Amino acid sequence: MNLPSKPLAGLKVVELGTLIAGPFASRICAEFGAEVVKVESPDGGDPLRKWRKLYEGTSLWWFVQARNKQSITLNLKHEAGREVLKKLLSEADILIENFRPGVLEKLGLGWDVLHALNPKLVMVRLSGFGQTGPMQDQPGFGAVGESMGGLRYITGFEDRPPVRTGISIGDSIAALWGVIGALMALRHREVNGGAGQVVDVALYEAIFAMMESMVPEFDVFGFIRERTGNIMPGITPSSIHTCADGKHIQIGANGDAIFQRFMRAIGRDDLAEAPDLADNAGRDARRDELYGVIDRWAASLPLSDVEAALVRAEVPASRIYSAEDMFKDPQFLAREMFLSAKLPDGKPFKMPGIVPKLSETPGSVEWTGPTLGEHNAQVLGTLGYSAEQIAALKAAGTI
């Protein structure tokens, strides 16, 4: 039986990234068949290897973020290290990097040099503020991008300071834009016969691009969207409610017919039939009243009963899932959102499944995050380095 090839099979990707944005972008490429070579410093490698919960000294996050990648070590301060990288890039389709702008240029590895070396190369550059503009040289993490891009300003409750979303979402969204840009550039190269190009993703712009109607609302009306907690102003009802057992549920009953079904399900036929609540504008005008009704109903029942009633009434809703909830959920399991893998000592563990689901050429996980420099001999060997040359590079501290 011939298994289908993955959609990115045949593509060669070199990653010069650390932590989140660059590595997440290349992880997606690796999951869908690209050959990804991750270049790390010989002095400890990607700091993500030591972030959050460690298992025998290595981050569990690392095993996920670096899956399907090959790890080589290169000291780019060494001329010999830069020469190895140039050989890699001369054969590559995509370079993904998230250094501060100017770092590669100082190493003699700027776009002009790399484009001349390999005119077909697509260079994805992920940075705090982009490769141009007055802030280009400033350091910027995802949290800064979320703040400058507008997300932090609108996240939280109106009577409290802004809050973060709970994950490094700015980095991850920037990574997604990076992959989208790379695929656009590859299509231009392969279908239109174009050359390689730079994909310039700024973290703050990656967030800014997600800010819905914020720009025209301010420009036309001078309206500034503020923090509103769990409700969606102008879209009613849609909020989080607390059940009798202290558990929480998100209910989205803002469709006209859905709202009517919901009100009947909770015994409020009067609200279901009220003419002024037949559309969203009318419901939003009575928002506080409606949320009070829903709050009292939810607070009178345990979460399981609230969920059951909403399922019967076909009202979109979800409990607020913890990881424990996900592990037991039939939908997660049916969609294979937990993959079985093994840690280096053979201990089994679960890692997140593949997104998106492709019907004909699905992605997969072939191996977990490698040890530092695990593929040095393999990768350098394919570049023409002999065993003696590889040993000399190691002795010199280049790898």
Burial zone of 154 (CB within 10 Å; 0-12 exposed, 13-18 middle, 19+ buried): middle
Q: Are 202 and 142 in contact (CB under 8 A)?
A: no
Active site residue 171: yes
CA distances (Å), 399 to each of 74, 111, 324, in order? 5, 24, 41
Residues 6+ apart with CB under 8 A from 180: none
| Total residue count of the chain as it appears in this document | 399
CA–CA distance, 392 with 321 (Å, rounded to integer): 52
Q: Tokens 């005008």 correspond to what residue?
A: 285
Q: How many CB atoms lie within 10 A of CB 21?
A: 31
End-to-end CA distance of the chain: 40
Q: Supply the angle between the helices 169-191 and 21-31 in degrees, to the nearest 10.
A: 50
Helix (H) or strand (E) holding 122: strand 122-127
255 DSSP 8-state letter: S
Give the CA distances from residue 291 to residues 239, 275, 280, 285, 287, in Å, rounded to whole numbers and listed in that order. 8, 18, 14, 12, 6
Which amino acid is present at 12?
Answer: K
Tokens found for residue 333: 């399991």
DSSP state at residue 375? T
Active-site hit among 171, 279, 284, 345: 171
Q: Catalytic residue positions?
A: 171
